């Protein structure tokens, strides 16, 4: 191991050829240089490897390494492979659609001076001007961030995601990410939960809130991801028990009934078609009605993933 490397930034990437130049340009402008970047391409579907070769030449001062899986193995496997190759004392997970500020690495590293902690930075989602963003996405983003910052310290593990850090030896003791999570999401929540069970304090640091060029820019994309997240949630429940999550009181409202009925028909195909129709209708419908239709689509897709996990088919 190179003892001079203070941090290793692990970037899992699939289909990231257009996103990686933004991320690596931001990392090249950091106000410190005591770090390395390891990008793990989880099956190269868009010549990401070629883009990374070009970016390495454009940023010769940055310690950049690339690993390319010959086929898709899932985000958890990519994260573990990057961590296994890492040389830094602090391990930073940085997803490929982030655009960190110049003090990003330094602010992560300073939180690990003399202590073992799990550090979370939130996202500030950057949306293109779409119907989904206007009627639902931006408001949901603000609410998510507000709820996270108001969360009790014991509950902050729930927000473990793509802008986080731990000491590398803590990651090794934990055993890395669980590679059974192959659908979208929950490999991160699982990781945060296991950190908490191991006795590692977890803290959300507002200074680490980072611009996120969000992929869910339409109702269809957001809802398909909700379907996959619902399916992945059931892996977490099977592993840790439902008591690991906050109990949800029975809901016999009309809204709950609508979600249940809609979820019974939700597949990736119907979700995409319905999302497209809603986004088009949002151009003429009242905003409140468009917001309700988006919410119904997203929530019913998430429920479908929980009840009918086999409907989540796309690889992320």
For residue 44, what are its two tokens? Answer: 């190269």
Tell me: pLDDT of 2 over 50.
no
The pLDDT value recorded for residue 226 is: 94
* CA–CA distance, 90 with 168 (Å, rounded to integer): 5
Please, which pLDDT band fits residue 3 given cuts at 50, 70 and 90? Answer: low
Q: Tell me how far the alpha carbon of residue 155 is from its chain's centroid.
A: 18
Within 122-255, strands assigned E span 123-126, 163-167, 202-204, 210-213
Strand partners, 125: 212
Q: Mind listing the domains of the chain with CATH numbers? A: 7-213 (3.90.550.10), 219-311 (no CATH)
The pLDDT value recorded for residue 250 is: 75
| Mean pLDDT score across all residues of the chain | 94
Q: What integer is the mean pLDDT of 212-226?
A: 94
* CA–CA distance, 87 with 31 (Å, rounded to integer): 20
Laid out side by side, the sheet with 123-126 consists of 98-99, 210-213, 123-126
Burial of 304 (0-12, 13-18, 19+ CB in 10 A): buried
What pLDDT, in 10s, does the model give residues 236-259? 999 999 889 877 677 789 999 999
Q: Contact at 8 Å (CB) between 221 and 135?
A: no
Torsion over CA: 40, 197, 225, 126 (sign): negative
How large a percentage of the chain has pLDDT more than 70? 98
The pLDDT value recorded for residue 1 is: 40
Q: What integer is the mean pLDDT of 109-132?
A: 96
What pLDDT, in 10s, does the model give residues 127-175? 999 999 999 999 999 999 999 999 999 999 999 999 999 999 999 999 9
Q: At what angle do helices 75-85 and 187-197 cross, to 10 degrees?
A: 60
Please, which pLDDT band fits residue 4 given cuts at 50, 70 and 90? Answer: low
Q: Tell me how far the alpha carbon of residue 286 is from its chain's centroid.
A: 31
The pLDDT value recorded for residue 245 is: 87
* pTM of the full structure: 0.93
Report CA dihedral (9, 11, 16, 18) to the nearest 10 degrees. Answer: -10
Give the least confident one: 118-122, 205-209, 224-228, 307-311.
307-311
């Amino acid at each position: 191991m190179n003892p001079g490397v203070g941090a290793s930034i692990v970037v899992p990437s699939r289909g990231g050829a257009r996103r990686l130049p933004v991320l690596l340009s931001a990392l090249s402008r950091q106000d410190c240089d005591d770090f390395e970047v390891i990008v793990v391409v989880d099956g190269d579907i868009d010549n990401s490897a070629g883009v990374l070769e070009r970016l390495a030449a454009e940023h010769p001062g940055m310690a950049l390494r690339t690993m390319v899986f010959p086929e898709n193995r899932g985000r958890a496997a990519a994260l573990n492979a990057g961590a296994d190759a890492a040389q830094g004392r602090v391990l930073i997970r940085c997803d490929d659609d982030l655009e960190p500020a110049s003090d990003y690495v330094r602010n992560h590293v300073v939180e690990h001076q003399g202590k073992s902690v799990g550090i979370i930075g939130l996202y500030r989602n950057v949306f293109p001007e779409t119907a989904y963003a206007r009627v639902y996405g931006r408001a949901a983003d603000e609410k998510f961030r507000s709820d996270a910052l108001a969360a009790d310290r014991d509950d902050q593990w729930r927000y473990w995601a793509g802008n986080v850090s731990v000491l590398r030896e803590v990651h090794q003791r934990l055993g890395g990410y669980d590679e059974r999570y192959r659908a979208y999401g929950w490999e991160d929540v699982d990781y945060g939960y296991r950190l908490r069970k191991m006795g590692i304090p977890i803290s959300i640091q507002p200074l680490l809130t980072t611009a996120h060029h969000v992929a869910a820019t339409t109702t269809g994309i957001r809802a398909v991801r909700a379907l996959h997240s619902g399916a992945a949630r059931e892996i977490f429940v099977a592993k840790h028990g439902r008591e690991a999550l906050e109990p949800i009181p029975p809901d016999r409202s009309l809204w709950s009934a609508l979600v249940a009925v809609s979820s019974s028909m939700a597949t990736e195909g119907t979700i995409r078609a319905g999302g497209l129709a809603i986004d088009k209708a949002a151009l003429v419908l009242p905003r409140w009605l468009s917001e309700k239709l988006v919410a119904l689509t997203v929530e019913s897709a998430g429920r479908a993933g929980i009840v009918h996990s086999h409907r989540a088919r796309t690889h992320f």
